[in-house]
Amino acid sequence: MTADQAGPVVDTPYGAVRGRHERGVAVFRGIPYAAPPFGPRRFRPPEPPEPWDGVRDAGSFGPTAPKPPYSEAFAHYLSDPVVPGDDCLNLNVWTPEPGPAARLPVLVWLHGGALTRGSSAVPVYDGHAFARDGVVLVSLNYRLGVEGYGLFPDAPANPGLRDQLAALRWVHASIAAFGGDPDRITLAGQSAGAISIGALIAAPQAQGLVRRAVLQSGPPEAAERDKVRRMVRRMATRLKIPATAEAFAAVDRDLLLRTQAEVGRLSSPVLGGPAFGIVVDGDIVPRDPLAALTEGDAARGVDLLLGWTRDEYRLWLVPGGLMDHVDRLGPVALAGAMARCHCGHEVPRGYRALHPGARTAEIVGQLVTDHLLRRPLHRLADARPGSSYVYEFAWPSSLPDLGACHALELGFVFDTGDVPESRKLAGEGGPRELCDVMHGAWVRFAATGDPGWQPWDGSRPVRILGDGDPYTVHGPRDREFALWTADGAHESVPVGGAPPVRGTELASAVRRLRRTMRARLH
């Protein structure tokens, strides 16, 4: 490493980069880890970047992957900056001490966004606080939507996941020059980023590259191939082209994004419509990641930090006033949720008994949250006692109705609660003490593998991080979990004294719920 008046310079395998000194740490932005994925590389696995001569400036964020904007309802709460350009497979490094002698722990961050939105340029993800506290923070961009997760007969599956693997390999080979220890890499992500991490740590090609992993609000899972195919076919129908990578590559990029946004409007966790997702491909994802991690030997030496927020579903239902509409749908909404969660009538009836004052929307939301997030993360922890740590983020936003919703915790994780983009979810007055606790737990886990509380065992300890001092409970809401059955939705589904909604009506209930949500989110 060298330095001059313009900033620190570090050599990478493809050329030297010049960063910036900012608030006592060194920052390098927009470093390419793979070649631009366009032209002949469209829908193909990532390739190494072209080496460059001289010193490449790394003072600004690189281009973001092509993506549609959030709807107005969600943009009120979530920020998603766009940086134009084709060279979108890039990453950023925050480090307190660039140079091979430092050997500091490394945290590699994968952003969320349903595999269709998000980027490393979101201000909430600024890595300064991690570097300030002795952890090298790496964040990265990867292909999204149909570019990254479309399923075609003439192209390999999961190119976006392959991008992430290429970035992880870059980090393992290059991070020592930035002050990081390649033997102490923690892979961390939220929502779709956490789902990606589940697939990566289970992937045969990633074994040995990761020492620890943080899965926040996203379980290891594989999407149904037919669900992803339906997304591609619906886009192809609207575009009047074959459902092939060759045909899609010839479509104007802006038109492709508009079509993707239109087709994907109902791809929310609650509705479960066609969506992009990681699929089993016989290669990088040889089997379902959750099964590989719970039943096989994948990532056996990897420590796990697993978390969720108490009210994940509120970010899915509050925008556009959907909580009130779900309440008005009543039994129809509950029937749709049961179809979504493949459960019988005893589950929502049991939730009602345990929470007699809850609104219908709260019952629906908690059903989906438990089915999609908490139950699979519990299953993962059960399979790895002694090396798993589990927590629930329970601090409610000061904004109306959001509660402890999906993504609220990120400003606390990154100690960026003061930036406007964090306040869009948290409002004003987030407790400084909780930020110290949340951020400190991630720092300790990256450095030592122990966030500061009891590891998972037969008593199922969960650390609650919210108002006041953190505390541990054992098996929170396990009464709800005991209600779930494995035999799918029943033929007759009486709920809360309402008339039965029969199996033949479940699809109609889901369609009605989707139409309502489409109207509210348009």
Q: Which positions are catalytic?
A: 191, 312, 406
Q: With beta carbons less than 8 A apart as the criterion, state whether 103 and 81 touch.
A: no
Q: What DSSP character marks residue 475?
A: S
b/e per residue, 378-415, with b = 16+ CB within 10 A?
bebbeebeebbbbbbbbbbbebebbbbbbbbbbbbbbb
Q: What type of residue sits at position 182?
A: P
Cβ neighbour number for residue 252 with a 10 Å cutoff: 9
| H or E element in which residue 306 lies | strand 303-309
Q: How many Cβ atoms sit within 10 Å of the Cβ of residue 516? A: 17
Q: 486: which residues sit within 8 A by CB, 6+ positions away?
A: none
Q: In a 3-state reduction of DSSP, which class is residue 208? A: coil
Which alpha helices (H) appear in 22-118, and where do they start and end?
72-75
DSSP 117-172: S--TT-GGG--HHHHHTT-EEEEE----HHHHH---TTS-S-HHHHHHHHHHHHHH
How many Å apart are CA 334 and CA 328, to the nearest integer?
A: 11
Q: What is the three-class DSSP state of 27?
A: strand
**Using an 8 Å Cβ cutoff, are 344 and 489 in contact?**
yes
Q: 381 is written with which tokens?
A: 């922890």
Which tokens in the block code for residue 478? 């396990």
Look at the block and give the residue holding tokens 């289970």.
Answer: 202
CA separation for the pair 312, 368 (Å, rounded): 9
Strand partners, 308: 392
Instruction: Report the helix count and the strand count for the chain, using DSSP H and E.
Output: 20, 17
Tally of CA atoms within 13 A in the half-sphere of 289 that contains its CB: 29
Transcribe 352-364 into DSSP letters: HHH-TT--HHHHH
Is 250 in contact with 339 (CB distance < 8 Å)? Answer: no
Strand, coil or helix: 73: helix
Gap between the Cα atoms of 515 and 508, Å rounded: 11
Q: Counting Cβ atoms within 10 Å, is residue 420 exposed (0-12), middle (13-18) or buried (19+)?
A: exposed
Token reading at 115: 């595999």
Q: Is residue 106 within 8 Å of 135, Cβ to Cβ? A: yes
- Nearest to residue 140, comparing CAs of 54, 13, 28? 28
Are 182 and 200 in contact, with CB atoms under 8 Å apart?
no
Residues β-bridged to residue 188: 109, 214
